[in-house]
Amino acid sequence: MTPIEQLQSALSTLGLKAVEARLEGLLEQAAKKEPSYAEFLEETLSCEVEARRTRYLRARLQLAHLPFLKTCAQFDFGFQPSIEEKQIRELLSLRFVHEASNVVFLGPPGVGKTHLSVALAEAAIQAGFGAYFITAHDMVADLGRAYREGRLDRRLRVYIAPKVLVIDEMGYLPLDDLGATIFFQLVSARYERGSIILTSNKSYGDWGSIFGDPIIATAILDRLLHHSTTINIRGESYRLKERRRAGLLPRSDQQGQETILPTPALSATVTSGSRRKAGA
């Protein structure tokens, strides 16, 4: 075996795939630039470190099941003045993830609730946290099935383990008794352990109708909102704006035409003690 072949075999045994793939290039470059031994070793290893980082990131992103990839940089805050950009920037610092507190986006369809949830989840993944995205309906259906098959506890782990769980579209469909109980169990299990990012078209005052029972709704909101930030988005659907711009719909200046939130605008950090106001 030539020294190069021996080297390749060693790299393969050690699983240093990125270095193995780039070996010739790295050696050629070193012959030209003549770096110090330490520089050469550092450059070689950082090639592997970078490749691994990218691989882990991709795996984490796949595991997260995000419906699309969008960032906060792609969000037009000018179009959505009901959102304080500062508040989103604070969330992007991921302090809420470290503190295991929750984020709730409320508002009518098309105003960017899923977009911002995905952007926060993506930022968390970039920072090395695990994240998982699912709609409320799919999660409750999945856990209901697990319950009937006697494996609820095991299945719950899927939704408890990730540091960030996005539950999208809470409230589009009401939950039955079992669904409400399971949802309560999940929120309790994650309480002060992992963040929930939740989106809903229903104001807190209407959550009783989602769960069919005001007592369980209160118990869920209590845990969900104890450490949380609520972002209440008003205004027009971005989807409609785009279609309108394409000339598919007549122009309209009727602000809040689609607003279905009966509550007055509230864009505040809800913390312990002030949470009752959120449902007012």
239 binds, among Mg ion, ligand ADP, none (CB under 5 to 8 A by kind): ligand ADP
Distance in Å, CB of 221 to ligand ADP, minimum: 20
Tell whether residue 110 is a contact of ligand ADP (CB under 6 A): yes
**Spatial distance between the Cα atoms of 243 and 247, rounded to a whole number of angstroms:** 6
Residue 229 phi, psi (nearest 5):
-120, 130
The string of DSSP letters for 73-85 reads: GG--TTT-TTS-H
**Spatial distance between the Cα atoms of 110 and 76, rounded to a whole number of angstroms:** 13
With contact defined as beta carbons under 8 Å apart, do 63 and 55 qualify? no
Interface residue with ligand ADP among 40, 172, 184, 238 (CB under 6 A) is: 238
Region of 91-99, 102-110, 128-136, 207-215 interacting with ligand ADP (CB under 6 A): 102-110
Tell whether residue 70 is a contact of ligand ADP (CB under 6 A): yes
Q: Which of 240, 258, 260 is nearest to 250 (CA)?
A: 240
Nearer to Mg ion, 36 or 74 (CB): 74
Tell whether residue 239 is a contact of ligand ADP (CB under 6 A): yes
**Spatial distance between the Cα atoms of 134 and 155, rounded to a whole number of angstroms:** 14
Tell whether residue 80 is a contact of ligand ADP (CB under 6 A): yes
Tell whether residue 112 is a contact of ligand ADP (CB under 6 A): yes
56 binds, among ligand ADP, Mg ion, none (CB under 5 to 8 A by kind): none
With contact defined as beta carbons under 8 Å apart, do 79 and 241 qualify? yes
Distance in Å, CB of 75 to ligand ADP, minimum: 5
Tell whether residue 88 is a contact of ligand ADP (CB under 6 A): no
Nearer to ligand ADP, 70 or 137 (CB): 70
Tell whether residue 114 is a contact of Mg ion (CB under 5 A): yes
User: What is the footprint of ligand ADP within residues 120-149 (CB under 6 A)?
Assistant: none
Tell whether residue 210 is a contact of ligand ADP (CB under 6 A): no
Distance in Å, CB of 109 to ligand ADP, minimum: 4
Distance in Å, CB of 258 to Mg ion, minimum: 13
**Spatial distance between the Cα atoms of 165 and 118, rounded to a whole number of angstroms:** 10
Tell whether residue 80 is a contact of Mg ion (CB under 5 A): no
Pairing of strands 164-170, 228-232: unpaired
238 binds, among Mg ion, ligand ADP, none (CB under 5 to 8 A by kind): ligand ADP
Edge-to-edge strand ranges of the sheet holding 164-170: 131-135, 164-170, 195-200, 102-106, 228-232
With contact defined as beta carbons under 8 Å apart, do 89 and 77 qualify? no
Distance in Å, CB of 119 to Mg ion, minimum: 13
Tell whether residue 202 is a contact of ligand ADP (CB under 6 A): no
Nearer to ligand ADP, 107 or 144 (CB): 107
**Spatial distance between the Cα atoms of 85 and 90, rounded to a whole number of angstroms:** 9
- Tokens describing residue 200: 């809903």
**Spatial distance between the Cα atoms of 227 and 75, rounded to a whole number of angstroms:** 25
Q: Which residues contact 65 (CB under 8 A, 6 or more apart)?
A: 132, 133, 134
Q: Note the residues at the interface with Mg ion (CB under 5 A).
A: 114
Question: Contact positions toward ligand ADP, by CB under 6 A?
Answer: 70, 75-76, 79-80, 107, 109-115, 199, 238-239
